[in-house]
Structure 1
Amino acid sequence: MSQLFLFLSFFNNADCRLIYLDKVFESQNMAKYFIVISVKVDNNEGDVVVSNKNLYNSLRRKDRRFTIFDNYCTIIKDKIVKNESIEFTKAKLTKMNTKLIEPDSSVLEWSDKGEEVFVKHYFEVYQEHNYATLKSDVHAQSIPTIVKVLFNWNYLITSVEGNLVIEQLDFCKKDSN
């Protein structure tokens, strides 16, 4: 019985991931959400946090396959699911206003405590309005790791008036409708 539960749980999580990525890559949301993608820069490999719009604009200038938005979405979603890297120069990353994430061990320790504890530690949660904003005392160097953790947990992460925000806290969560 427990094997059946694990099997179904895996597929629910996989379905959720695809639903999440579809939401993040909807054309009307292109400029809205942050994504985390693996990159190769010189001889280094790692992840970056980038706005969907900045990544799209950079890639469509670099490679004709990305000039059509649907192609961009299909290719990037596939790379995210398969954890495949895209090659960039340091100059391109700078132009996209991003750099390789330097993992923050404190953030990772908090993530081990679970989603609810993690979100409440780093964010002011407004359950009645279904969103959360980053607390003002969070160190700037922690933010990329926080975004990576949230992205991996399928949270919709955006910026509103310069503040990091989680939209739809219940998006793709077990007890949401």
Structure 2
Amino acid sequence: MKLSRHSFLAVLFGTAALLPAAAPAQPPAPEIKQALVGKWRHQTMLRTADGQALPPQPSGGAGVAEFRGDGTWSMQGPGAMSSGTYRWLDAKRIEQTLEQSTTRLEIGVASIRYVKIQGDHLTLTRVQDRKEIDKLMPPPAPDARRPDQMIVTNVFTRLPAD
């Protein structure tokens, strides 16, 4: 399942997500919030469809995401861009809202991401249901079957500060 550039950014940062019920929200420690701030180079996208791992999709480092301390973010890649706001829901999750995107369907949509930062590595993970997958992807071939659930994990490495 190859993605177009616009679909790639849609999968990377677009559409709302359904996530399992979380424990009572605990605010993130200031150091966790600060650890997300900065520029991150996208390395690969990992996907699991209905419990089955799909081949990794390396990006070759072409996309760069930036999270700012003021609660805004942006993502730029070859021929596509998106930006918006984010807020911490608890110590492990953020909610991102798209305010600008090369894919108009995404504008105004919020999605929840699990955030994991280990040193200079960031992973953002979200879970999509069938309805969201249908919104993101071009119409399937007549004999194609789409998954009912997709877990998408994007892996980044930190860029040096300017």
Do they superpose with TM above 0.5?
A: no
From the two aligned structures, give the one with the greater strand fraction.
Answer: 2
**TM-score, normalised with respect to structure 1:** 0.26
Which structure is higher in helix share? Answer: 1
Q: Which has the larger radius of gyration?
A: 1
TM value normalised by structure 2? 0.27
